[in-house]
Amino acid sequence: MRKITVRDFFKLKEAGEPITMVTAYDYVSAKISDEAGVESILVGDSLSMVIQGNDTTLPCSIEEMIYHTKLVKRGVKNAFLIADMPFLSYQVNESEGIRNAGLLLKAGAEAVKLEGGREVADLVKKLSCFGIPVMGHIGMTPQHVHSFGGYRLQAKTEESKKRIIEDAKILEEAGVFSIVLEMVPVEVAREITESVSVATIGIGAGPFCDGQVLVFHDLLGFYPDFRPSFAKAYRELYREGVEGIRDFISEVKGKKFPDEGHSFKSK
C-alpha cells in the first residue's frame, strides 16, 4: 500500500470507495492499524477515556495529545495521520488554536480535527490558510457532553437537522477536507454526504457516509467499561487478556512456568 495523503479523501469520495479510519494512541495500536491497511489513523481525544480512564474526553490536555501523537507517528507508515484538538486548546482564542494545531503538526500529525460547526469556521479558514488541513466533527461532539446532557443522538428535530446541514456546508466553505458525523440519524448523514464535496466519516451515523471510523478499543473489544450500541467489536481482546494473565498465574502457582524452553542454562 502507498502513502495516503489528504488528496485521497477527495479521490476516494469521488470513486465511491468507502474510507476507513481507526483511532490509535501509541506505537503498537498505530502499527496494528497501519499494517491492517486503514487509510487514516486518528489520535482521538477519546484517549482521555480508553487510555486514561476518565469519564469524558474533557480532561486531556494539548501536551498529552502531543505526546500521544509522537508515539503514534512512530508506528505509522502509510495511513494519513490526524490528531484531535482537545477541549480548551482552540476555544479560548484564535492564536492559541493556531499555535496548538501547529504543535500537533510538529509532533507528526498531518491534519487536525476539531469539534463544532459555524462557531469554528473562522479558525478553520485560518488553519487552512497556514497549511494545516482540518477535519470537522459535528453531531454528537463529545466535548459538548455536558450541554447535551449525555451521549445522545443529535439532529432529531427538523430544526436541528436543518442546522447541522448548514453547519456541514459552512465547514466545507471554510476549507475542511473531511467531516466526522457522530450519532446522527441515517437520513441526516445521507443528506449531508450528498450535499457536500468533502468526505463524511461516520460513527453511529449509518452506512451512507463516505467512510467509517471506530475507536480502536471498541473495535477490538479492549475497553471493559462501556460499549456504544453503534460500535461493532470484531475481537474480544479484553477477555483474551484476562484469560492470558490467568493462565500465567496458574502456571506460576503450579510451578510449570518457567520451563526449560524459557530458561537459560550455563554451558
Q: Is residue 62 within 8 Å of 86, Cβ to Cβ?
A: yes
Q: Is residue 176 within 8 Å of 170, Cβ to Cβ?
A: no
Q: How far apart are CA 1 and CA 4, in angstroms?
A: 9
- Annotated active-site residue 182? The verdict is yes
Stretch that binds ligand KIV, among 1-9, 42-50, 121-129, 254-262 (CB under 6 A): 42-50
Q: How far is C-alpha 65 from the geometric centre of its chain's CA atoms?
A: 12
Q: Which of 71, 203, 205, 219 binds ligand KIV (CB under 6 A)?
A: 203
Size of the site for ligand KIV (CB under 6 A): 10
Asked if 183 touches ligand KIV (CB under 6 A), the answer is no
Stretch that binds ligand KIV, among 39-47, 85-93, 155-163, 187-195 (CB under 6 A): 39-47
Residue 21 parent element (H or E): strand 19-23
By residue count, the chain amounts to 267
Asked if 176 touches ligand KIV (CB under 6 A), the answer is no
Asked if 51 touches ligand KIV (CB under 6 A), the answer is no
Please choose, from the candidates 205, 169, 204, 179, the residue with its C-alpha nearest in 3D space to the C-alpha of residue 190: 205
Stretch that binds ligand KIV, among 37-45, 59-67, 119-127, 248-256 (CB under 6 A): 37-45
Residues with Cβ within 8 Å of 238's Cβ and at least 6 positions away in sequence, in order, are 221, 222, 223, 224
Q: Between residues 26 and 45, which has the closer beta carbon with respect to ligand KIV?
A: 45
Catalytic residue among 110, 115, 182, 191: 182
Residues with Cβ within 8 Å of 52's Cβ and at least 6 positions away in sequence, in order, are 59, 60, 64
Asked if 44 touches ligand KIV (CB under 6 A), the answer is yes
Q: Of 76-115, which residues contact ligand KIV (CB under 6 A)?
A: 84
Q: Is residue 8 within 8 Å of 40, Cβ to Cβ?
A: no
Q: Of 135-164, which residues contact ligand KIV (CB under 6 A)?
A: none
Residue nearest to ligand KIV (CB): 44
Q: Which of 4, 13, 20, 23 binds ligand KIV (CB under 6 A)?
A: 23
